[in-house]
Structure 1
Amino acid sequence: MERTSNLQIPTTEKNLSGWINGFIGVVIFSASLPATKVAVLEFDPVFLTLARASIAGVLALAMLGLFKARRPQRNQLVPLLLVATGVVVGFPLLTALALQHVTSAHTIVFLGLLPLSTAIFAVVRGGERPRPAFWLFSILGSACVVAYALAQGLSAAPEGDILMLLAVLICGLGYAEGARLSRTLGGWQVISWALVLSLPLMAPLAWLWAPASFKGISAPAWLGLAYISIFSMLIGFVFWYRGLAQGGIAAVGQLQLLQPFFGLALAATLLHETVSMGMFGVTAAVILCVAGAKKFAR
């Protein structure tokens, strides 16, 4: 008994550390869409995606060199490329394009589907067999999002809704692959190597896609670019993947359910966007559906 108790103490502390790191990551991610909305008002969305990945990639390269991180093995390269496709290129680009058509408050509602997307890819990649109730909650959650989009007038900005659905789908893939890799490669190393692998492509494209002149770009737009480059693209993932590795993917992953609420509050506070009761209602409904799906995932 004494031996078992001694073994349980470090595990409990590790789980607590995982929840703390995961929570910090979610709080950082919550400001991503409002910051992107500010930046995309003055920067081309494609350039914004290339620039944020390039800036974060240079910082990640410096971190890997400073801490002398070991190189990934050959069998880890394909998963790392999937992480890069999902969270370095796909999600930032698709959300930046979506924000040209809809408000950040509108897009944040779709983030309620992100835990479900992550869980689905964890099922596909991990070979898990969830109970039928899982799929029931999945369908209900998706139906809530579709109903909300229709109620808002889908014909008004269908591009924004479609782009956000694609962004959530590809980001779920990136999260699931990153979570799997973090068990063997390490939490912060996963996003760092994904960024470095993307750098030879993203940096030259950012230079080619750069505007002819940066005159007239306001301070808020520069701050938005800085935030999504340093915090959303790098620091947030350091905490997030570390949290997943320490506290468990299924448990800590549920913290994503808090992200829509934090994001809506920031959109209303910083951007003075209208956050309707309908937005809160559909977000709460989606969160309940995703929580039910997670409960029956095993």
Structure 2
Amino acid sequence: MNAQPSRHDEQRGLWLGLLGVVIFALTLPMTRLAVGPASDPQLPPLFVTAGRAALAGLLSIGYLFAVRAPRPAVAQLPAFAVSALGTVVGFPLFLALALRQVESMHAAVVTGLLPLATALAAALWFRQRPSAGFWACAAGGCALVVAFALVQGSGRLVMADALLLGAVASAATGYVAGARLAAQMRAEQVICWVLVLSLPVTLPLTLMSWPVQPVRAAAWGAFGYVTLFSMWLGFFAWYRGLALGGTVRVSQVQLVQPFLSLLFAVPVLGEQLDPATVGFALAVIATVFAGKRMPVHRTA
């Protein structure tokens, strides 16, 4: 049984968790800046997806060599594959494609369901039984997101909303697989091995999708951010924070991530906050907050 974290470790864990959340909150506006809108496209979504993982994977080789990290066991490879499909392929690709069509503020509200989706994925993975209250919160959160999408889409859903929900499902599945691996090895080594094991796919795709048209320096700078911070160092802070302060307590700071994404979109992209977006974001955050406190029972 894991020992209860000390107060000092708990505080360090909370601060590291908050640092990870701040880094991840910038991912939405930075990805939008990297790919550009459909009216002014910049880097191809496939290049942003594969390139950020490939370059972070090359950095991971150096890190793993420096710390003399042990190789993953064969039995761990399925979990690494699931984590890679979710966090390296699914989430960034769906997100990049969606952000070609909608503003990052729109994406921030829809992806606000991620903590609740992660809790649901964990319950299914570990064969737990969520309570009726949890399911009610999950249904309420989904209804809010659909209502927001309908309001933003003038009464109709757009393909970007389906892509964003795909991003949420991918990230939730990948996070749960990564969390399972983090219980078996040092947390920050999990994302490094995920990236290194993905290199045979991500590196060729990066070269194949390399942009041929001129791209603004701001787009390259945003690509550098999602590579170094969103895909790599952010996971160092996040996973280390969870390990130090306890998953249940530290994961609560993720509730502020959608609102931080809304705030960051103003200076980074010049997007304008409107009362409806803020209202829906707060409602989704409240639903997620309530859902994460509903009991999840272990099956016999």
Tell me if both proteins adopt one fold, taking TM over 0.5 as the criterion: yes
Cα distance in structure 2, aligned partners of 1:157 and 1:138: 20
Cα distance in structure 1, aligned partners of 2:183 and 2:16: 15
Cα distance in structure 2, aligned partners of 1:155 and 1:71: 51
* C-alpha displacement of 1:81: 1.1
TM-score (norm 2): 0.92
* C-alpha displacement of 1:110: 1.3
Contact 2:149 2:157 (C-alpha < 8 Å) held by counterparts: no
Q: Write the deviation string for residues 1-29 of structure 1: whole angstroms up to 9, x where unpaired.
A: xxxxxx87x62222222211111100000
Cα distance in structure 2, aligned partners of 1:86 and 1:252: 22
Cα distance change, pair 156–132 in 1 and its aligned pair in 2 (3 A): closer
Cα distance in structure 2, aligned partners of 1:14 and 1:103: 38
Cα distance in structure 1, aligned partners of 2:65 and 2:234: 20
Mapping 1:72-151, distance limit 5 Å: 72-151=72-151
Q: Write the deviation string for residues 162-194 of structure 1: whole angstroms up to 9, x where unpaired.
A: 100110011001111111211111111110000
Identity of aligned residues (%): 43
Cα distance in structure 2, aligned partners of 1:46 and 1:157: 24
Letter in 1 for 2:224: A
| Greater CA drift, 186-195 or 236-245 | 236-245
Contact 1:111 1:259 (C-alpha < 8 Å) held by counterparts: no
* C-alpha displacement of 1:226: 0.2
* C-alpha displacement of 1:223: 0.5
* C-alpha displacement of 1:246: 2.2
Contact 2:150 2:157 (C-alpha < 8 Å) held by counterparts: no
Give the match's secondary structure for 2:68: coil
Cα distance in structure 2, aligned partners of 1:212 and 1:113: 36
TM-score (norm 1): 0.93
Which residue of structure 1 lines up, in the alignment, with residue 277 of structure 2? 279
Cα distance in structure 2, aligned partners of 1:154 and 1:171: 28
Gaps of 5+ in 1: 1-6
Aligned match of 1:32 in 27, 30, 36?
Answer: 27
Give the match's secondary structure for 1:189: helix
Aligned match of 1:221 in 216, 219, 222?
Answer: 219
Which residue of structure 1 lines up, in the alignment, with residue 186 of structure 2? 186
Letter in 2 for 1:26: V
Gaps of 5+ in 2: 37-41
Which residue of structure 1 lines up, in the alignment, with residue 295 of structure 2? 297
Matched, 1:21 2:21: no
Cα distance in structure 2, aligned partners of 1:226 and 1:297: 40
RMSD: 1.5
Contact 1:51 1:206 (C-alpha < 8 Å) held by counterparts: yes
* C-alpha displacement of 1:297: 3.2
Letter in 2 for 1:150: L
Letter in 2 for 1:219: A
Contact 2:150 2:156 (C-alpha < 8 Å) held by counterparts: no
